[in-house]
Structure 1
Amino acid sequence: MLFAERGIDAPLDDLAARAGVGAGTVYRHFANRDALIRELYDASVADLHELAPQILGAETGWRSIELYLELLAGWLAESPYVPAVMRRVAELDPTHRPGVEFAEVIDGMVARAQAEGSLRADVTAVDLSVLVDMLGSLGQYGGAYLPFWRRQLTVVLDGLRARPGNSPISGDGQAFGDFHDMSHAKGPSHPQG
């Protein structure tokens, strides 16, 4: 996709040409670039909803964790423009926050895996979400690295497993709503202190 190659500010005329349609067709469907960006964002949220039954319906809590990281990080690695789309929508409409609806679901998935003793007791839903972002960021290297990203997935999953002698994770985790807002913010933010 053009946005994956050239970013979300790539010319819409180039997008139309890549799609094999006239520029007028693009503009008839999307009043402007912001409307297209919003549509991409909403389509991304819909993709997450489609993955949820497979992830949450896994036979064990640990398998849910594996699927969550594998499916979401893989999806993000193949769609490296998504973080820019998230940031742009946050600029356009800071009140549009459908991602926070997943907080309770991910918390439940974490609790299930921890209750069965397979996931470290000190891991949070935000920890998993950050790991998805980290693994998904491997898409920035383009398609050449996509066949190899599961190596890092294996390392991450091994670090999440509950086992005697795990090093404790320092400090308290971030609240999911704060993580959501931060991950949708433009550029890095630093805590006020």
Structure 2
Amino acid sequence: MSPSTPRADAVRSRARILASARELVDAPGGLRLSAVGRAAGVGQATVYRHFPTVEALLTELYRVEVGELADAAHDLLGRHPALEALRLWLTHLTRYARTKRGVLAALGGSLAEPVAGETAALVREAVDALLTAGQADGSLRADVDAVDVIAMIGFLSRVGEPEVADRAEHLLVLVLDGLRTRPQGG
């Protein structure tokens, strides 16, 4: 094992810490490294070795979440027709928006902007892959690009929690209807 290759137990500990942080990010009183360590079943030294600050933990959690979101687009395209893959991905995005809101709120404005900027390209690439597949098979409009879709789904970060739960599916149907191709003369 090279000095730069983490040990298997360290990789497992880091994954448990991130999973626990994901569960606790919206806890009342804010995210505490001590609570994350207890939930992950690791000692405080292990938590601090991986994430010396709450901000470092939240930053990595956000990066992991966005990476999972981007990977999901490609995975869905491999298993579904483009329009269905887009629908499923947008549904996944709705669930993700709740985590994003909690993580970015916990990070605060000064830290949130650079982190969100770092990951924006991943989201754009995922949307572009979904659109390209749908435009190639004729199910999605050719005059739409990733920036258009990202602007349309921006509502997810602006709609309050009770409304997201109540309206998300309906709003996603409206977005998809706007992206579908229409028969000539229809």
Length-normalised TM-score, structure 1? 0.60
Length-normalised TM-score, structure 2? 0.62
Contact 1:80 1:137 in 2 (8 A): no
Q: 1:51 aligns with which of 72, 80, 87?
A: 72
Question: What's the offset of the Cα at 1:19?
Answer: 4.0
Question: What's the offset of the Cα at 1:125?
Answer: 0.9
2:168 match: 149
1:12 match: 32
SS at match of 2:52: coil
One-letter amino acid of the counterpart of residue 70, structure 1: T
Contact 2:101 2:157 in 1 (8 A): yes
Contact 2:104 2:112 in 1 (8 A): no
1:133 match: 154
1:170 match: none
> How many equivalent residue pairs?
160
Q: Describe how 1:50-129 pairs up with structure 2 within 5 A.
A: 50-77=71-98, 79-84=100-105, 85=107, 88-91=111-114, 97-129=118-150
Question: What's the offset of the Cα at 1:149?
Answer: 1.9
Question: What's the offset of the Cα at 1:113?
Answer: 1.1
The answer to which structure, 1 or 2, has the higher relative contact order (CA under 8 A, 6+ apart) is 1
Question: What's the offset of the Cα at 1:27?
Answer: 4.2
SS at match of 1:123: coil
2:180 match: 161
Provide closer, same or farther for how the CA distance between residues 69 and 136 of structure 1 changes in structure 2, counting only shifts above 3 A.
farther
Contact 1:62 1:118 in 2 (8 A): yes
Contact 1:64 1:109 in 2 (8 A): yes
Contact 2:69 2:123 in 1 (8 A): no
CA RMSD, Structure 1 to Structure 2 (Å): 3.8
Partner Cα separation in structure 2 for residue 54 and residue 146 of structure 1: 25
Question: What's the offset of the Cα at 1:150?
Answer: 0.8
What runs of 5+ residues in structure 2 fail to find an aligned partner?
1-22
Contact 1:80 1:136 in 2 (8 A): yes
